[in-house]
Amino acid sequence: MQCVRKQPKRSKSQEKLHDEQSEKITSVNLKLLGMDGDPDLNFLLKGTELTKVRSGSWKKPRYFKLQEDCKTVWQESKKKMRPKHTFSIEEIESVRLGRHTEGLKKYTEETLESRAFSILFKGHHKNLDLIAANEEEAKNWVSGLEKVMNNTSNLSQQKRTEHWIFNCLRKADINCDTKMSPDEVKSFLQSINHEVDDEYIKMLFEKCDRSKTGLLEGKEIKLLYETLTDREEIDVIYKAYAKTEGLVSAANLLDFLTNEQKEKVDLIHATQIIEKYEVDETAKAKQLMTKDGFLMFLHQPEALIMSPAHKSFYQDMSQPLSHYFISSSHNTYLVKDQLKGPSSIEGYVRALTKGYRCVELDIWDGSDGEPVIYHGYTLTSKILFKDAIQAIKEYAFKTSEYPVILSLENHCSVEQQKLMAKHMSSILGSALLSKPLGEHMPTALPSPEELKGRILIKCKRLNKLEDYFSDQAAAEEEESVTEEEDARDEEEAENNSQNNKKSLKLAKELSDLVIYCKSVKFQGFEHAQTHHSFYEIPSFKEWDAVNFAEKSANEYIHHNVDKLSRVYPSGAARTNSSNFNPVPLWNAGCQIVALNVQTPSAEIDLNQGLFSQNGQSGYILKPAYLRDKASEFDPITLTRGPWLKNITLHVMVISAQQLPKVNEKPNSIVDPLVRVEIYGVPADTAKGETQYIENNGFNPMWNKNFKFDLHVPELALVRFVVEDYDHVSSNDFVCQCTVPFTTLQDGYRHVPLYDQNGDLLPSARLFVHIMAVEAE
């Protein structure tokens, strides 16, 4: 969360005082971040001039330095009238040394490789491409920024809050006298998303102004901090178990863990928690836990809403690919809309680093003989196919070791198809799966485990996979195929009469790279059962897939037991790159449900939620009844079977902490409400909503109970959505978190929150109570 309050101009004397204090403030922040004395940080704090690159003709010097909060980078133009700009370390996705972005490759010379670096931001913000004065300075910037990013992300919740409030208080001290007036306190509260009236300010001052001077300083400001961060709801829970000298003993903590959190642990485990998280050394020596230590523990990953056992790898990865849901993207190269938005290799980088395992490439003939990627028949920009393949090679396995599927939509001539095959073979090397595993014709798809570190091609193939193991040669090069069999391209072809009924020859070199994902046209479940092999994969337009999932769900499930299915958004109906609900398709066993990942949406949140488990591998093992050819499961009719559990889920939304502002104006405060949504089979779909809390995004409290009846909990996703209430227009999205029901932990839990781009908001949390019980 940022303190976004704009600073007023200071007088010369105030500026001098501000500068004198700045060094002390910086020292405090370095200690809070655990980076005191770090040489790279000292370099960033001094700052240097860097050349900012936007185009071939726009390369201008800018002065960059890390500010005293050790979290904000400041840049200034040499021109006095130009504004100063800042960005937060928490906004940075990654820092890359060298000429790795499209901009630096296009607009700078190779001789600048060692001096170049890029700052890539979360969401859809433009990259910051920079040139340092020399190689050493470039390395210092990259190393320093990465250190701050790592240290900031690893701060405990308590340290993070302490650092944030310390710097918000610093910014609120307008006259730099290290004291706070009532007006400064009121302004400070607005900056942290909390609007209060004069009566509250008066009450706050009466409590904190021990010296009765009308100003807060020193210990009084510390008391203000403690008052603001006091958690009434935590006090109630803590006092119920603080039965040993007013503190919580290991035995008391064990009672809390077993009674409230429903955890099966022993006294040794409770003792270890105190040893690990208690902040008061005197209490720790007595094996006791203070309220601060208790709160520290409740913010740890092991105590959050998702079970740590499910967060890491826990599923069997040795079954056929068709037994897994696979995190999949559509039009991966696009970073905005699909009519005139930009195409970028960053689309592949972001999708792969977020764990997507199937990415799409729409390839067309390039005017200079090199295949290009863009959205055909539109004004979207173009990128070179070979650049996309290079990016895929570099980032395919950064997040997950499990296989990546390249879904090729091939519109190229035979000559450029040959070049595509050459680029993939030469760039991807041994990672490219170019022949079947084993010496004999398989009878089922290989497993994710067997395909670790491998890249598979999904495209047309001239012959059957069986021919690979046969001595008979077919007249492959003479066979003509219509590359695009799916309805999306039929729609596009109708808009371009010259391409209508266009038939393309398929290059043998490209065909030979298609092993386990041969694209075929779907002509019905009965036809697929008798004519399609396990390695043949049809693509379904969303409307057709949803229709099958509603009217022929059991047949669809049987089809998806041993064969892969890919579902993609309608091109004609979703020109704005919107998305469809993937849940009904997952309920029908579809593995590759491809979404427009460039578009923030509830559907992307659901995808992120489902694949947040199992080590973010991008592969989730389907429930047993979606892997059984004899399964009678139907998500619509819900016939009786082992999938029916009848669980009652009780959710109490208690409070939230440090919600972000929707509008960065200083006087803009959110009026938050929380909606709890259940996605799953139709019988389980439900939602409930709290009332809104006026003018408080800092520490709102609801204490609202909800009850949901679940019939197939194994397929349910629970989504917590925070919105800013608006009585005139629709509410604004603030943040959310989606969690698979099977990974929920009972008891009092903090819920991590994510922004609209799926990036974690480090300071924001919901606090809830969860209880799942078998219905009577």
Distance of CA 184 to the CA centre of its chain: 36
Q: Report the amino acid identity of residue 745.
A: Q
The radius of gyration computed from the CA coordinates of the chain, to the nearest angstrom, equals: 29
Give the model's pLDDT for residue 478.
40
What letters, b where the CB count within 10 A reaches 16 and e where it falls short, cover 610-630? bbbbbbbbbbbbbbebbbeee
CATH superfamily of 321-465+479-626: Phosphatidylinositol (PI) phosphodiesterase (3.20.20.190)
Structure-block tokens of residue 622? 């389907």
Q: Is the pLDDT of residue 158 over 90?
A: no
DSSP codes, 42-64: HHHHH-EEEEEESSSS-EEEEEE
Lowest mean pLDDT among 214-223, 288-297, 497-506, 619-628: 497-506
- State yes or no: pLDDT of 29 exceeds 90: no
Query: pLDDT tens, 470-485?
Result: 865 554 444 444 434 4
Q: How confident is the model at residue 652 (pLDDT cuts 50, 70, 90)?
A: very high
Question: Which residue shows structure tokens 């082992």?
Answer: 642
pLDDT in tens, 682-701: 999 999 999 999 999 999 99
For residues 88 and 2, the answer to whether their CB atoms sit within 8 Å is yes
User: pLDDT at residue 486 above 60?
Assistant: no
Residue 666's pLDDT band (boundaries 50, 70, 90)? low
Burial of residue 113 (CB within 10 Å: 0-12, 13-18, 19+) is middle
Q: Which residues of 177-213 are buried (b: 16+ CB within 10 A; e: fewer)?
A: ebbbbbebbbbbbbbbbbbbeeeeeeebbeebbeeee
Q: Which residue has the tokens 């390039």?
A: 366
- Give the model's pLDDT for residue 201: 87
Which tens digits make up the pLDDT trace of 597-647?
988 999 999 999 999 999 999 999 999 999 999 999 999 999 899 999 999
Q: Give long-range contacts, CB 8 A cutoff, 24+ apart: 447-451.
A: 447/317, 447/318, 447/319, 447/320, 447/321, 448/317, 448/321, 448/324, 448/402, 448/403, 448/617, 448/619, 449/317, 449/318, 450/318, 451/321, 451/402, 451/403
pLDDT at 500 over 50: no
232-303: CATH number:
1.10.238.10
Task: Indicate whether 491 pLDDT > 50.
Answer: no
The highest-confidence range among 57-71, 115-129, 549-563, by mean pLDDT, is 549-563
Q: What is the largest CA-CA distance in the chain?
A: 97
Q: How many CA atoms lie within 13 A of 107 on its CB side?
A: 18
Q: What is the pLDDT of residue 1?
A: 43
* Active-site choice (100, 330, 411, 769): 330
| Res 352 pLDDT > 50 | yes
List 100, 163, 194, 375, catalytic entry: 375
Question: For 280-284, 379-383, 601-605, which range has the lowest pLDDT when averaged over its residues?
Answer: 379-383
What pLDDT was estimated at residue 502? 52
For 568-586, the pLDDT digits (tens) are: 998 777 878 889 999 999 9
- Partners of 740 in the β-ladder: 717
- Contact call for residues 320 and 444 (beta carbons, < 8 A): yes
User: Residue 503 — pLDDT band, cuts 50, 70, 90?
Assistant: low
User: Average pLDDT in the 264-287 region?
Assistant: 96
Q: Catalytic annotation on 559?
A: no
Q: Is the per-residue pLDDT at 3 higher than 60?
A: no
Task: Look up 125 and say whether it is catalytic.
Answer: no
Pairwise CA distance, residues 662 & 660, whole Å: 6
pLDDT in tens, 102-152: 889 989 999 999 999 999 988 767 889 999 999 999 999 999 999 999 888
Q: Is the pLDDT of residue 552 over 90?
A: yes
Averaged confidence pLDDT in the chain: 89
Q: List the structure tokens of 631.
A: 């399964």
- Residue 341's pLDDT is 77
Does residue 353 register a pLDDT over 80?
yes
* pLDDT higher than threshold 50 for residue 231: yes
Lowest mean pLDDT across 168-172, 447-451, 686-690, 704-708: 168-172
Q: Which among 3, 1, 46 is positioned nearest to 173, based on CA atoms?
A: 3
What pLDDT shows up at residue 151?
86
Residue, of 165 and 143, whose pLDDT is higher: 143
pLDDT of residue 296: 93
**Percentage of the chain surpassing pLDDT 70?**
91
Domain segments of the chain: what residues? 34-154, 232-303, 321-465+479-626, 647-774
How many helical (H) and strand (E) elements, i.e. helices and strands, does the chain have? 24, 32
d(CA 651, CA 85): 43
Of 435, 592, 459, 481, the closest CA to residue 536 belongs to: 459
More confidently predicted of 21 and 282:
282
Q: How buried is 602 (Cβ within 10 angstroms: 0-12 exposed, 13-18 middle, 19+ buried)? A: middle
Mean pLDDT of 235-252: 97
- 724-760 pLDDT tens trace: 999 888 999 999 999 999 999 999 999 999 999 999 9
The CATH classification of domain 647-774, taken from the options 3.40.640.10, 2.60.40.150, 3.40.50.300, 2.30.42.10: 2.60.40.150
Helix (H, G, I), strand (E, B) or coil at 204: helix
Report whether pLDDT(534) > 80: yes
Question: Which of left, alpha, beta for 656 (phi over 0: left; psi -120 to 50: alpha)?
Answer: beta
Q: Are 692 and 671 in contact (CB under 8 A)?
A: yes
Cβ–Cβ under 8 Å, residues 722 and 736: yes
Confidence (pLDDT) at 494? 43
Residue 490: is its pLDDT beyond 70?
no
Asked whether the predicted pLDDT for residue 5 surpasses 50, the reply is: no
CATH architecture entry for 34-154:
Roll (2.30)
Q: Is the pLDDT of residue 78 over 90?
A: no
Residue 23 is predicted with a pLDDT of 76
